Each structure stands twice: as C-alpha cells, then as structure tokens.
Amino acid sequence: MREIEFRGKAKFDDDMWMYGYYKYNRKNNLARIEWVNDFGEWSDEFVIPETVGQYTGLKDKNGVKIFEGDIILWPSDANVYAVVYITEVASFVGRCKTKNDFEYLDNGIGENQSLKVIGNIHDNSELFDI
C-alpha cells in the first residue's frame, strides 16, 4: 500500500516545511498539516494552501521522497521536470521545462534509477518557470 503524506510551507515561517496529513477548510481558505509528535500526541501547523503537495510514493536515487511540486533532473535526457498530478491520466508526471510534454514518473523510475530531486517550484522557481 502506498504511503499517504503531504507537505506544505508553514504559514508563519515560510522557511519551514511541514509533513503529515492535510486538512483544508474551504470556508476560511485555511490549510493545516497534522502529524503525531514525539510524545504520541497530534500536532498541527497552518500552511500556505498553494504550497501543499502530495507524496508520489517514489524516491529519487538518493532516497529523497518525491512530492508534487518538486523539480527533478532526468539525466537520461538531461531535462528538468516539475512533478504535477494530471487528473485525466490519474498519475503524477514530470512536466518538462524545455519540451511541451510529460513523462510518467512510475515507468520503472525509483530509488534505483538516476532521477534526482534538485528543488521545488516554491523555493527554486528559477529552476522551472511555471
């Protein structure tokens, strides 16, 4: 079974990323990430809704978890991709920066491949202009 996890930038400390379960209140446009702290108690932090991304269930060659919104380097074709979710194909894909296409992340790509997370679209927009 795939691990379900989200991340989002803390609303009151935009240098901090929070990881855990995602809750969103449409009425107030408030988003939170919840997790179990070191004492076994639930904690939560408000996050910026636009920065929330889901874990794809995959890791790069260094064992780094790949999240929606990450920027990855695909050395086989030397291109940079942004990880996005496309509803029409119900999959996380890499959208290419230099070509108008995408690659499926789950075509045998995982920890044993050469895929590498090099940033994300929120902290490193210069790597991938969206």
* Per-residue pLDDT tens over the stretch 32-53: 999 998 999 999 999 999 999 9
Q: Does 130 reside within a domain?
A: no
In this predicted model, what pLDDT tens digit does every residue of 47-104 receive, in sequence order? 999 999 999 988 888 999 999 999 998 877 778 889 999 898 888 888 887 777 787 7
Q: Does 129 reside within a domain?
A: no
Residue 48 has which token pair?
């910026």
75 shares its domain with 111 = yes
Residue 35 has which token pair?
């997790």
What pLDDT score was predicted for residue 130? Answer: 55
The total of structural domains in the chain comes to 2
**Is the pTM of the predicted complex or chain greater than 0.75?**
yes
Determine the structural domain holding residue 21 and report its residue range: 6-51
14 shares its domain with 68 = no
- Decide if 71 contacts 119 (C-beta within 8 A): yes
40 shares its domain with 71 = no
What span, in angstroms and rounded, lies between the C-alpha atoms of 58 and 111? 7
81 shares its domain with 111 = yes
Angle at 130 between CA 122 and CA 114, to 5 degrees: 75
Percentage of the residues of the chain whose pLDDT score is greater than 90: 50
Q: Does 67 reside within a domain?
A: yes
45 shares its domain with 13 = yes
